[in-house]
Structure 1
Amino acid sequence: MIRSLLYVPGNTPRFLEKAASRGADAIIIDLEDAVPEALKSSARDALAQSVPMVGRGGAEVFVRVNMTDRLLDDAEAACRAGAAGLYLPKVNSVTVLDRLVAHLAPIEAETKRNPLRFVPLIEDAEGLFEARAIARGPRVLGISSGGEDLATSMGAKPLPEVLRLPKQMIHYAAKAAGVLSFGLFRSTVDFADTEAIREAAEEARSYGFDGASCIHPSVVPVLNAAFAPSEAEIVWARKVVAAARTEEQAGRGAFMLDGQFLDAPIVTRAERLLARLHPKT
């Protein structure tokens, strides 16, 4: 499970040093918006040290690159540093994914490492209508949206009611492609209202989102709790799966359990919940 993804500025050693202890399932070292232009090159050069440092606690490590003429150099540095994947801002076409694969493949062969995975961020209206193609692109692990940029591109405010429909469209594109979907129906910028974030995370999970990113470590435990199955849900799922096996042996595809009618979609939901606890590798 990737329930929580914590952004950390790539040019701030004190944040990078503490990132591994924050409890996030993934750390995103940011070379883009969080880093001033004058410091972007030095932040990239530091990836050789910062990637293993933030990942020493077991978190997956992603690097958010710059979608500018720095793109390929950022991607190569992340690859050589051992990052698991790239967070790709402002993606509005699958073409950039193909370009990255062509650039990275020989480097990965040279260094004998696994291929980098991609998490494209949809951040404008053009990308929104290309979300299905992007989600099905090469090496895509999951997709998400950049709420602030998306609203700005439309001349709108990043209010939950403004972001809801485009974020749903991006989410459905992810699910149709069978990749992960990250996000909440709100901006990540307002991190102080913990209760509102908890409610938003629980709502997002009810829609089938897999996790969400945050910019402050105080939000990490909120996301971890909201996107993880509860103990009661796990007990229910195990009970359903066990009963389904018994009923199948008796030749029944639909059955009653504790007064509830169960059939194939409900059993599948229970199986998928348990699969999140023990994913195949």
Structure 2
Amino acid sequence: MQTVARSYLYVPGDRADLLDKAPGRGADALVLDLEDAVIAARKEQARETVGAFLAAAPRNGPGLWVRINSDQIEADIAVLSAAAVGIWVPKAEPNLLHEVDAALTRAERRLGPGAPTFQVVALIETARGVLTAAQVAAAPRVLRLGIGEADLAGELGLQPGADRAEFGPIRSQVVVASAAAGITPPVGPVETTLRDAARLEQTTRALLRQGFRARTAIHPGQLAVINDVFAPTAAELASARAVLEAMERAERRGSGVATDADGRLLDRAVVRTAAEVVRRADASAG
């Protein structure tokens, strides 16, 4: 399983046929969806299907997450087994995340010795979630944040253009909150245009520049592009390693600064960026 997932594939929780195929699709992690992908009349069937899938899931495949319904916490968390990494929490706000923490603690006790410590991906999808993003990021169990732009557009009355520029300030808040809390950089929203690989690459690279380090997918055909964008190129990796090596040589001489092969100054900020590139490359190769 990846140390840091680049791609998360949503899989409808009531579709056993899709769940069975999903581990081989190329996603770093799967999100078994009990929420938006499942109509109300099929929620219980979806829980049974996801529970059975988790019970039989191998431990050496992609990371397995369950997206719960924010108003059905106990029932949805009851499907978890030791094969799951944790849950995705939609409409995440501080009070809800504390309820989730308590419910996950009860689930761990139910599973007994050897149970994992379940983690949380908290989805910022409400105005209150945006305003409390720092608290959401610092809540118990939160590994990283995500952003649900369709829900936000509806609540805020936004009419996004093709470049999604209207979400720029909110995306920045999510990235800053993640960095301030010291958690894994956030997960970007889905690209809903399914048959346009060029657009998918363009919008994914925009997320990378904005500070996101992963993205959700709603179709397996999107995964290769997402994985490629969030994995550093060979040239980027070579440049990053050269920066780290130059700084190591400088430190051995007792200096806190160095220069690269082109004579450019390298300081701690540049080194931090280079180290992040190497970490992403190592995770991508995992």
Q: TM-score, normalised by structure 1?
A: 0.91
Distance 1:44 1:189 in 2: 26
1:266 to 265, 270, 285: 270
Q: Residue 254 of structure 1 corresponds to which residue in structure 2? A: 257
Distance 2:104 2:59 in 1: 24
Q: Residue 177 of structure 1 corresponds to which residue in structure 2? A: 181
Distance 1:221 1:18 in 2: 16
Q: Residue 127 of structure 2 corresponds to which residue in structure 1? A: 125
Q: Deviations over 1:182-202 (max 9, x none)?
A: 344x75322322211101111
Task: Name the aligned partner's letter for residue 101 of structure 1.
Answer: D
Q: Deviations over 1:119-138 (max 9, x none)?
A: 11111111110111000000
- What does 1:22-101 align with in structure 2 at a 5 Å threshold? 22-51=25-54, 58-68=61-71, 70-78=72-80, 80=81, 82-91=83-92, 93-101=93-101
SS at match of 2:78: helix
Q: Residue 193 of structure 2 corresponds to which residue in structure 1? A: 190
Q: State which drifts further: 98-107 or 245-254.
A: 98-107
Task: Name the aligned partner's letter for residue 85 of structure 2.
Answer: A
Q: Deviations over 1:42-95 (max 9, x none)?
A: 111122322366666621111000111x211101212x363101110111x211
Contact 1:182 1:213 in 2 (8 A): no
Distance 1:197 1:52 in 2: 34
Q: Residue 140 of structure 1 corresponds to which residue in structure 2? A: 142
Distance 1:51 1:158 in 2: 37
SS at match of 1:237: helix
Task: Name the aligned partner's letter for residue 18 of structure 2.
Answer: F
SS at match of 2:265: strand
SS at match of 2:8: strand
Instruction: Indicate how the Cα distance of structure 1 residues 53 and 81 shifts in structure 2: closer, same or farther if over 3 A, else same.
Output: same
SS at match of 1:86: strand
Contact 1:65 1:88 in 2 (8 A): yes
Contact 1:4 1:223 in 2 (8 A): yes
Q: TM-score, normalised by structure 2?
A: 0.90
Instruction: Indicate how the Cα distance of structure 1 residues 164 and 52 shifts in structure 2: closer, same or farther if over 3 A, else same.
Output: farther
Deviation at 1:171, TM superposition (A): 1.9
Deviation at 1:275, TM superposition (A): 2.6
Structure 1, unaligned runs of 5 or more: none
2:116 to 107, 114, 117: 114
Q: Deviations over 1:4-49 (max 9, x none)?
A: 0000100112211111111101100000011011111111112232
Contact 1:16 1:54 in 2 (8 A): no
Distance 2:276 2:158 in 1: 37
Deviation at 1:166, TM superposition (A): 1.4
Structure 2, unaligned runs of 5 or more: none
Deviation at 1:212, TM superposition (A): 0.6
Instruction: Indicate how the Cα distance of structure 1 residues 137 and 206 shifts in structure 2: closer, same or farther if over 3 A, else same.
Output: same
Distance 1:203 1:62 in 2: 26
Q: Residue 235 of structure 2 corresponds to which residue in structure 1? A: 232
